[in-house]
Amino acid sequence: MTDHHPSHRIRWLLVSIAVLVLIGGYAIIRYQQKTIVIQLSLYSGNSWGVPQNFAYAIYDRVVQMFEENQKEKNYHVVLKTGTMYKDYSEWFAQLVLKGREPDVFLILEEDFNTYAAIGLLENLDSYIDRSKTFNKDDIFPKALEAGRYQGHQFSLPISMVPSFLIYNVSLFEKLGLQLDLENWTWDQFYEHCKALTADNTDEEDIPNCFGVEGYDWHQAFYTNDGNLFNANGNLAGFKDDRMLEMIGFLKDLYVLNKGTIIKEGDFERGNVGFKTFNFSEFRVYGSYPYRFLRYDDFDWDAIPFPSGPNGNSASKLYTVQIGMSSRCKHKEVAFAFLEFISSNKDFQYEIWKYTNTLPVNRTVFDRIYSEDIKENGEVKALDRDFLEYILASSYIDPDFKKYSLIDNSITQRIFKIVAQDEDPLVGVQEIRNLINQELSTDTGVKPIQ
C-alpha cells in the first residue's frame, strides 16, 4: 500500500530540493572553474557636455562581441553601471579605498595622472610588446598619447572628440565679412569679433551681438605657446612674453563686450559670430532632428582656432580611456579586453555608428570616409582634410597628477587679470610662482597597497 502520509511527502520534497541544490552548486563550481570573469565599471555622460542616448548600449555591444570572439576561452565581462559622470570619481575612489575596484574601468581625464602616479593603473607596456595583434600604428597618435604617463602606456583609448570653432556663415555674409583661412591669426579673429560686436537695441550702448562664445585662455595659450610646463613637469615652462601676449589678447576681446556676459544659447539665436565646438556636438547638432531644433535658422561651418603671433592652430583633444587595475587577478584576460575595445575594427566601426564620438582606429577612419559621407538634408559632414588637420594639431593635458588643481588656479588667476584690469606683468609672475609652488609641494597621496 502506498504511504500518502503528509510527513512522508514533505521528507521526499526536502530530499529532492537538497539534491537540486547540490547539483546546482556543483554546476556553479564547474562554471566558475571554467569561466574567467572580469568586471568593467562605466559612467554615464562625458567631459565635453553632449548628451549621449543609450550610454551603456555600446559597452553591452563590446562585451557581446568580445565574449563571442573569445568563446573557446569562456571569458565573461560583468558591467558595473548606474553612475553619472559627475559622481563617478568619488564613487570609484571609495571602491579603490576598499580594494574593490573593478578589473578594468573607464578613467576620467582629471583622475588619470593620479591613478598612474599612485600605482593603481597597470603599466601596459609589456602586454603591448607581447601582443601579436595590437599595433600602435593602427591608433591615432594623440589618442594613444592621452593614455601615457611619464613615457609609459597606462590606458588605451576607445574613442576621441577633437575640438574647433564654428562660425555663423549667414551672419558673416549679412555683415560683408570674409574669412581668410590662409592667414587665420589672432589679429584677423579680433577684427572679426570687433565687427560682430554691436548694440542693436539702443539701450545704453550695451552689446547684444558678440564675437565669440566659449573661447578661453586654453585655446589662446596653446595657439601661441605649447609649453605650459617644462619637459619634466616640475616647473613652469611658458615664456613670459608669450603669456603677456595671450593676456593682452584676452583683455582686448573682453573689452569688446563691455562687461556683458555672453549667455549660453546666444550663438544658436544668431547673436554670436564664433563658438567653440567639438566633434560630438557637430554630429548631434549637425543631424536631423537636432539641427532643425537649434541650428537651422542660419548656415554654419567648422574652422580651426586662429594662430597666435608665435604659434600655430591647436585645440584640445578629448578621449575616452580605459585602464586595468594593478590589483586585477586576471591581467592577461583584462588586457585582451582592453586590446579588443581599442583596436578591433568591427567594434570601432560600431562606435562611429552608435555614438557621437570618433573611433581611434585609423583603418576604421579610412573606411568611414571611403563610404562617401555627404552633406544632405539630414546630416552635416566634416571635411576629411579638415578633421585630419585638427587631429594632428591637437594637444592633450600634461601628464602629472597635480595638473587639474594647477589648471583651476591658472584659470581663476587669468580671469582676475583680464576682468579686473590687474597688472599683467605682476599677474604673469604670480602664475609662474603658483605653478612652481604647487609642483614643489607633496600632495599627500600615497601609493596603493
Per-residue pLDDT band for 30 (boundaries 50, 70, 90) equals: very low
Q: What percent of the chain has pLDDT over 70?
A: 84
Q: What integer pLDDT is reported at residue 1 of this predicted model?
A: 47
Residue 414 one-letter amino acid: I
pLDDT in tens, 295-339: 668 899 999 999 999 999 999 999 999 999 999 999 999 999 999
CATH fit for domain 33-162+317-395, picks 3.40.50.720, 3.40.190.10, 1.10.238.10, 3.30.565.10? 3.40.190.10
pLDDT at 4: 55
Q: State residue 288's pLDDT score.
A: 53
- Distance CA(156)–CA(142), nearest Å, equals 11
In this prediction, residue 63 has a pLDDT band, given cuts at 50, 70 and 90, of very high
Residue 132 to residues 129, 135, 192, 238, 419, Cα–Cα distance (Å): 8, 8, 53, 41, 55
Strand partners, 394: 315
**pLDDT surpassing 70 at residue 33:** no
Question: Residue 320: which of 90, 106, 59 has the closest Cα?
Answer: 106
**Per-residue pLDDT tens over the stretch 356-367:** 899 999 999 999
Higher pLDDT, 354 or 1: 354
pLDDT class for 226, splitting at 50, 70, 90? Answer: confident
Q: Does domain 163-315+398-440 have CATH number 3.10.20.810?
A: no
Task: Give the C-alpha separation, 440 to 442, whole Å.
Answer: 7
Express each pLDDT in 134-144 by its tens digit. Answer: 999 999 999 99
Closest CA to 186 of 248, 228, 122: 248
In tens, the pLDDT along 95-114 reads 999 999 999 999 999 899 99
pLDDT of residue 162: 96
Calpha distance 424→227 (Å, rounded): 19
pLDDT at res. 49: 78
Is pLDDT of 166 > 90? yes
Confidence label for 232 from pLDDT (cuts 50, 70 and 90): confident
Buried b (16+ CB within 10 A) or exposed e, 248-267: ebbeebeebbeeeebeeebb
Choose between 205 and 299: higher pLDDT. 299
| β-sheet bridge partners, residue 160 | 319, 358
Q: What is the mean pLDDT of residues 132-153?
A: 94
Q: What average pLDDT score do residues 429-440 get?
A: 93
Arithmetic mean of pLDDT, 392-397:
92
User: Among residues 76, 113, 115, which one has the least CA distance to residue 92?
Assistant: 115
Higher per-residue confidence, 393 vs 403: 393
Q: What's the mean pLDDT when you consider all of the chain? A: 87
CA angle 377, 379, 383 (to 5 degrees): 120
**pLDDT of the residue at 442:** 56
| pTM of structure | 0.85
| pLDDT score, position 363 | 95
Residue 82: pLDDT band with limits 50, 70, 90: confident
For the chain, give every residue range classified as CATH 3.40.190.10. Answer: 33-162+317-395, 163-315+398-440
